[in-house]
Structure 1
Amino acid sequence: MIPYGKHFIEQDDIDAVVDVLKNGWLTQGPKIDEFEAKLAEMVGAKYAVAVSNATAGLHLACMATGLSKGDKALVSPNTFVSTPNAVLYCGARPVFVDMDPTTLNMCPEELGKELLRTSGVKVVLPVHFGGLPCDMESIASMVNPAGVKVIEDAAHALGASYQCGAKVGSCKYSDFTVFSLHPVKGVTTGEGGVITTNDYMSYKKLLQLRSHGICKGNFVHPGISVPDSEPLFCPENAFDSEGNLNPWYYEMQQLGFNYRMTDFQAALGVSQLKKLNRFVMRRQELALRYDEALRDIPFIEPAQPQYRTDSSIHIYIARISFDKLAIGRGEFMRRLKDMGIGSQVHYIPVHWQPYYSTLGYRQSACPNTNSYYEQTLTLPLYYGLTDEEFNSVIASLRNLMAIA
């Protein structure tokens, strides 16, 4: 079976993990710091915070903006449920902004309309769908004058660049960027995520929030103070008789979570980051080959074809006119599977989900997203996809379209 996505692990990746398992820390050790520093440098951000997964990263980024009950956040409906769920975790309400039918990303024009008709907007969460960066310059120009915070959901977009040349993750147009390190993403740590930011105080807050809200050793935030001052809170066991902070002492200064990454995951991440450019180049090459091969196959066309050089090409999306075929999408996917070809759908619009319907969201909202959903199919694309396997996918599509 040729899957729609797959991780790529080499011997040096395995050796990096084994070395930590044999000789290093297993939880919060030096590999975390190394991984964060390398990723921040790679994308051009000042700070990076590694977390257990991208959902955790989105949640913490929302918390760091102060998003809370009564607030609203503008979100793309063409995303995995984790993006708007992070808003709900904070007690706020997601408001869905329809996509641009060409980029499949949040439409800046629709965003402008929503900003005018929706009060209480505190955060915008644009999603770089498929690895293609949103029009962040336009988005930032609209929301910054209103003091609205921007969190980029870049779960698909590690290795992508804006049109200006800056890397996604540099936070050039945003307050936070969140990446995913899931096995089907550009590089992997098994499960994992990263938040980048350029704001020091936000960075320190994220470090606390990912580990129960606890601060230990270096008390930058209020809460602990030297004995001869007026501390906000200073229990007797904090200092010894000479005024030194006791080495075991720690403080929970806010309500946080256990969203930490392990050190052996970070070791895998450090090794995988070395291959990122190679991985992205191969994905872009395969996407261009798909674009060319699909030109003469009826009822199917590539999505986002004019944006290949800036995108990290997390997935390859085809738009298929299932209404013109004798079979529906489900049967189409089953027949592909019988030919040894895996496929997937990205995504069921979030406002179609049963839970969101209980919150009052209407399935008829966001017509561009709904239209896209009726046609979309994700075809196999990953670094390890061989030329022979690629040719097999194309041959299977030709054969299937001939009889469909």
Structure 2
Amino acid sequence: MIPYGRQHISDEDVEAVVAVLRSDFLTQGPAVPAFERAVAGYAQAQHAVAVNSATSALHIACMALELGPGDLLWTSPNTFLASANCARYCGADVDFVDIDPRTYNLCPAALAHKLEAAERAGRLPKVVVAVHFAGQSCDMQAIGTLARRYGFRVIEDASHAVGGSYLGLPVGGCRFSDITVFSFHPVKIVTTAEGGMALTNDPALARSMQLYRSHGMTRDAALMQGDSEGPWYYQQVALGYNYRLTDLQAVLGTSQMRRIDEFVARRHAIAERYDRLLKELPLVLPFRSPDARSALHLYPVVLRDSTDRKRVFEELRAAGIAVNVHYIPVHLQPDYRRFGFQRGDFPNAEAYYAGAISLPIYFDLTDELQDRVVAALQRIVGAARLSSP
């Protein structure tokens, strides 16, 4: 079975993890801040807070931005559930902004239009989560301009985009946002098995997120109320969570970061080969903006005849190709429909989803394996084209 994505683990990665197993620290020791420095340095951010998942990172980012009951968060409907759920963890409400039909990212023009209406209604968002779908950055300059005009805070959900760039600089530097979140799940560009990170240039936000990832507990006398009772002393100064990353995970991430440019370059080679080999099929191939260099976490194609998507998906799976679909629009999930969302609310996201299939793309996908994917598509999608009226 050819998966749509998988990790690449080198001997050096294994040796790094074994060294931690033989060390004094397995949970949160020196490897965690070393990993934070590696990612922050690569992304050109001032601060990084490592946690056990990108979902946790989104949650503590919302908490640090003081999102709460009565507040509103907007995000893209074309994303994983966590981009919206993070608001609900804080008691806030959620709404969505439709996507650009070319990039599949949150559309700045749709955002501007919705903000105008929201300002008239007196119901502006406190936070906008801009999701860098498939590894390609949103138009953050446009979103940042709107944030300054309307006064909302910005989180970049760059779970797909570590190793990508925008306007010539790395994703994660927070030039147009308050916080950027990365994911290190095994199918992402870099893995820690499970893990995430929140980056910011604001030291106060970094301190808040550090507290929230570890029970709201501190040993820093400057953050305590009253005097310390001794070197053993700690205080819980906020309600936090156990979102900590382990040294085992962190050292794997640091080892992987040494090859991040190699990982992304290989994904570009695979994507460019798909572009050439699939151009004659009845598919919409991924658009790559000249303003951004995608990390290419995904290679999503859209069937021009979306009514045939189920058959094509099933036949590809039967041929040993574990394609996937990213994503079912969040507003169509049963748990969101109960808030009044319904089909037709975000037509661009729904139209994309109706025909979308994510093809295999990962570091170890050889030309031979890719040829198998292409041959299956030519047979299956070509048959669909011949059978259509």
- Counterpart check, 1:224 vs 2:228: no
Take 2:184 and 2:301, find their aligned partners in 1: how far apart are those partners?
24
Of 303-312 and 69-78, the range deviating more from structure 2? 303-312
Instruction: Name the amino acid aligned to 1:387.
Output: D
Corresponding letter in the other structure for 2:204: M
Report the counterpart of residue 107 of structure 1 in structure 2.
107
2:349 corresponds to 1:365: no
Provide TM-score, normalisation by structure 2.
0.95
Kindly provide the CA deviation profile for residues 126-162 of structure 1, in whole angstroms up to 9, marking residues without a partner as x. 0000000000000000111332110000000001111
Give the total of aligned pairs.
Answer: 380
CA distance in 1, matches of 2:370, 2:345: 37
- Post-superposition shift, 1:306? 4.8
* Structure 1 residue identity aligned to 2:4: Y
1:205 aligns with 2:208: yes
Sequence identity (%)? 43
How far does residue 341 in structure 1 lie from its aligned partner after superposition?
Answer: 1.0
Q: Counterpart amino acid of 2:243?
A: Y
- 1:288–1:308 CA contact under 8 A, matched in 2: no
- Which residue identity is paired with 1:319? V
**Residue matched to 2:144:** 140
Pick from 365, 371, 382 the counterpart of residue 402 of structure 1: 382
What do you get for the CA RMSD once the two structures are aligned?
1.3
Determine the C-alpha separation between the residues in 1 that align with 2:194 and 2:142. 32
Partner SS, residue 121 of structure 1: coil
Q: Following the alignment from structure 2 to structure 1, what is the Cα–Cα distance between the partners of residues 292 and 148?
A: 28
The 2-side partners of 1:256 and 1:364 are apart by: 38
> In structure 2, which of residues 229, 238, 245 is the aligned counterpart of residue 261 of structure 1?
245
Give the distance between the partners of 1:203 and 1:253, measured in 2 at CA: 15
Deviations 1:158-188 (A, max 9, x none): 011112x121100011000000000000000
Q: 1:48 corresponds to which residue?
A: 48
Counterpart of 2:387 in structure 1 is none
| Contact persistence 2:103–2:288 (CA under 8 A) | no
Is 1:194–2:197 an aligned residue pair? yes
1:62 matches 2:62: yes
1:157 partnered with 2:157: no
Alignment check: 8 A CA contact 2:166 2:292 kept: no
SS at match of 1:184: coil
Tell whether 2:296 aligns with 1:313.
yes
What is residue 81 of structure 1 aligned with on the other side? 81
Gaps of 5+ in 2: 385-389
Instruction: Give the direction of change, closer, same or farther, for the CA distance of 1:323–1:207 in structure 2 (3 Å limit).
Output: closer
Query: Counterpart of 2:383 in structure 1: which amino acid?
Result: I
| Rounded Cα–Cα distance in structure 1 between residues aligned with 2:82 and 2:324 | 18
Q: 1:305: how far off?
A: 4.2
Counterpart in the other structure of 1:381: 361
In structure 2, distance between residues paired with 1:272 and 1:157: 15
* C-alpha distance 348-44 of structure 1, shift in aligned 2 (>3 A): same
Match of 2:335 in 1: 355
How far residue 336 of structure 1 moved from its aligned partner, in angstroms, is 0.9
Q: What is the correspondence of 1:281-292 to structure 2 with a 5 Å cutoff?
A: 281-292=265-276
Q: Distance in 2 between matches of 1:308 and 1:255?
A: 40
The C-alpha deviation readout for 1:234-270, integer Å capped at 9, x for no partner, is xxxx43xxxxxx1111100000000000011001001
Question: Rg bigger for which structure?
Answer: 1
Q: Does the CA-based 8 Å contact 1:69-1:91 persist in structure 2?
A: yes
Number of the residue aligned with 1:329 = 309
Say if 1:308 and 1:12 are closer, same or farther in 2 by CA, change over 3 A. farther
